[in-house]
């Protein structure tokens, strides 16, 4: 049964998108198509065929870390899908809560060690303070250099603001940052779930998530997208997007003149016109060919793909290609005998 109820062109001007005639940066567009094709090919060779490196001759992609073309291919999101979203033993409400918790930690290794996902309805503060705290201490004892959070997102907002929230609730400072995240979700579980359930469209879900102190635009959108993977969740990622700082920079590379569109409208416009653009620039863009290893119905390049890989990653690529500035994270191969530099 199809229970999805997207508001089409949510929070953007449909007429503006359909009537705009922006000007694109020719050299960047060619880099864009090349990057999407090659990054997809790398995933296929590495993850599907399990071939040894190198998986590309592209020096930029060979040397630096770039996200996968599709968000669901990323290591952390794969854990989320397997252990929370598609876990039949986790209730719908707990899928929402554990998805929220997952993204403000964003490191599956940590969650695995503390036996997540949790049943928040049966959890109590004693279990958090004693059992989970002990599990976290044991991680540090085994590996004093262990990093509990992912470096992919900047999570300073939740760490600070969730701590302030807990001081008001408990009357003392919770120094353990992971426990801050878990306790915040525990104390706010009804508010989180109820706000999601009464939202009439995608924007309302996003604004509800953003209403929690410490959750900014970027994190709220990432949590929203995670929720769209839940079968019972009424919305998809197809008709709503939020442009983060990296995405904004990528859009500025792609568009020489936006013709009055805001960043989200640019993402919609490019996604809707991708085939027309590829024809104009004589760039290969056959979905059946590029995504040949996926089921037929998944061989598409979506609005989320455009936000995640299309805009954010083209900024990193173009800064390297045209401005002689390197991305922050190098790609390190497991085989130490492989030398890149």
pLDDT tens digits, one per residue of 16-31: 999 999 999 999 999 9
Nearest to 309 by CA among 242, 246, 252: 246
pLDDT tens digits, one per residue of 245-266: 889 999 999 999 999 999 999 9
DSSP string, 232-287: T-S--SSS-----HHHHHHHHHHEEE-TT--HHHHHHHHHHTHHHHHHHTT----H
Q: Side-chain half-sphere of 118: how many Cα atoms within 13 Å?
A: 25
pTM score, two decimals? 0.93
Q: Are 180 and 133 in contact (CB under 8 A)?
A: no
Residue 54: asked if its preceding bond is cis (omega within 30°), the reply is: yes
Rounded to whole angstroms, how far apart are CA atoms 309 and 231? 24
Q: How would you write the pLDDT of the chain (341 residues) with one tens digit per residue?
A: 457 999 999 999 999 999 999 999 999 999 999 999 999 999 999 999 999 999 999 999 999 999 999 999 999 999 999 999 999 999 999 999 999 999 999 999 999 999 999 999 999 999 999 999 999 999 999 999 999 988 766 677 899 999 999 999 999 999 999 999 999 999 999 999 999 999 999 999 999 999 999 999 999 999 999 999 999 999 999 999 999 888 999 999 999 999 999 999 999 999 999 999 999 999 999 999 999 999 999 999 999 999 999 999 999 999 999 988 877 788 888 764 444 33
45-84 burial, b at 16+ Cβ within 10 Å, e below that, comes to: bbeeeeeeeebeebebbbebebbbbbbbeeebbebbeebb
Rounded to whole angstroms, how far apart are CA atoms 17 and 267? 9
- What are the angstrom distances between the C-alpha of 281 and each of 104, 110, 259, 275? 40, 45, 20, 10
């Amino acid at each position: 049964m199809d229970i999805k109820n997207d508001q089409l062109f949510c929070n953007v001007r449909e007429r503006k998108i359909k009537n705009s005639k922006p000007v694109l940066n020719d050299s960047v567009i060619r880099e864009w198509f090349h990057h999407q094709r090659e990054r997809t090919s790398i995933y296929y060779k590495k993850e599907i065929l399990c071939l040894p490196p190198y998986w590309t001759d592209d020096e930029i992609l060979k040397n630096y870390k770039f996200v996968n073309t599709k968000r669901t291919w990323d290591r952390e999101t794969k854990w989320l899908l397997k252990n929370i979203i598609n876990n039949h033993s986790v209730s719908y409400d707990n899928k929402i809560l554990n998805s929220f918790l997952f993204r403000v930690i964003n490191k599956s290794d940590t969650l695995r060690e503390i036996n997540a996902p949790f049943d928040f309805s049966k959890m109590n503060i004693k279990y958090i303070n004693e059992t989970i705290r002990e599990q976290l201490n044991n991680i540090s004892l085994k590996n004093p250099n262990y990093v509990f959070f992912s470096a992919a997102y900047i999570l300073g907002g939740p760490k600070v603001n969730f701590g302030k929230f807990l001081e008001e609730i408990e009357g003392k400072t919770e120094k353990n940052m992971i426990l801050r995240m878990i306790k915040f979700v525990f104390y706010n579980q009804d508010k989180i779930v109820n706000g999601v359930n009464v939202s009439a469209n995608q924007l309302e879900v996003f604004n509800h998530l953003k209403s929690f102190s410490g959750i900014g635009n970027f994190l709220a959108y990432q949590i929203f997208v995670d929720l769209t993977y839940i079968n019972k969740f009424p919305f998809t990622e197809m008709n709503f997007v939020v442009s983060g700082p990296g995405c904004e920079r990528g859009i500025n590379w792609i568009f020489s003149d936006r013709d009055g569109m805001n960043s989200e409208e640019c993402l919609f416009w490019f996604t809707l016109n991708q085939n027309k653009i590829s024809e104009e620039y004589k760039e290969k863009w056959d979905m059946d060919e590029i995504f040949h290893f996926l089921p037929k119905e998944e061989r598409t390049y979506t609005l989320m793909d455009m936000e995640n890989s299309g805009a954010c990653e083209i900024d990193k690529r173009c800064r390297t290609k045209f401005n002689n500035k390197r991305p922050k994270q190098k790609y390190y191969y497991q085989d130490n005998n492989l030398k890149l530099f």
